[in-house]
């Protein structure tokens, strides 16, 4: 499973897999299209156009609401989560104080892709 974004950082549509409740992946995961909104990276962050995200056993536990030692926090009404702790893409923008990675560089990220599916820190 993966998510795929089409369009520039300032517009377009992206496709993602989401869940609005915890449970069996085949029951709670759904494929959705979302409008891309203008997103700006924080001062030391990078805006990454994600092309692929994987789903592995740890993600399946989170989809089920199992944090191994406790339950996952409730998903707020009207919200959804996009599973996948890892992803690959291309750096679109850098924050003013970000260093070390130029615009356009292929990128791998792990564990902190925000719910928009587009920003990584």
Question: What would the two tokens of residue 22 be?
Answer: 């915890």
| Boundaries of domain holding 11 | 4-120
Number of domains the chain is built from? 1
Local confidence band at 103 (pLDDT 50, 70, 90 cut-offs)? low
Local confidence band at 67 (pLDDT 50, 70, 90 cut-offs)? confident
| Contact indicator for 77, 83 with CB cutoff of 8 Å | no
Neighbours of 76 (CB within 10 A): 8
CATH code of 100's domain: 3.90.180.10
State residue 8's pLDDT score: 43
pLDDT in tens, 13-50: 778 889 999 999 999 999 988 776 666 778 888 777 78
Question: What would the two tokens of residue 3 be?
Answer: 């998510």
State residue 53's pLDDT score: 82
User: Above 90 in pLDDT, residue 120?
Assistant: no
């Amino acid at each position: 499973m993966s998510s795929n974004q089409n369009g520039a950082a300032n517009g377009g549509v992206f496709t993602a897999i989401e869940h609005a409740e915890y449970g069996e992946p085949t029951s709670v995961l759904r494929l959705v299209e979302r409008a891309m909104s203008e997103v700006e990276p924080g001062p030391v962050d990078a805006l990454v156009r994600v092309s692929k995200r994987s789903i592995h056993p740890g993600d399946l536990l989170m989809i089920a609401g199992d944090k191994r030692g406790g339950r996952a926090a409730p998903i707020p009404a009207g919200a959804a989560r996009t599973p996948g702790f890892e992803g690959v893409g291309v750096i679109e923008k850098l924050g003013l104080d970000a260093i070390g990675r130029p615009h356009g560089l292929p990128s791998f990220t792990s564990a902190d892709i925000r719910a928009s599916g587009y920003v990584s820190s």
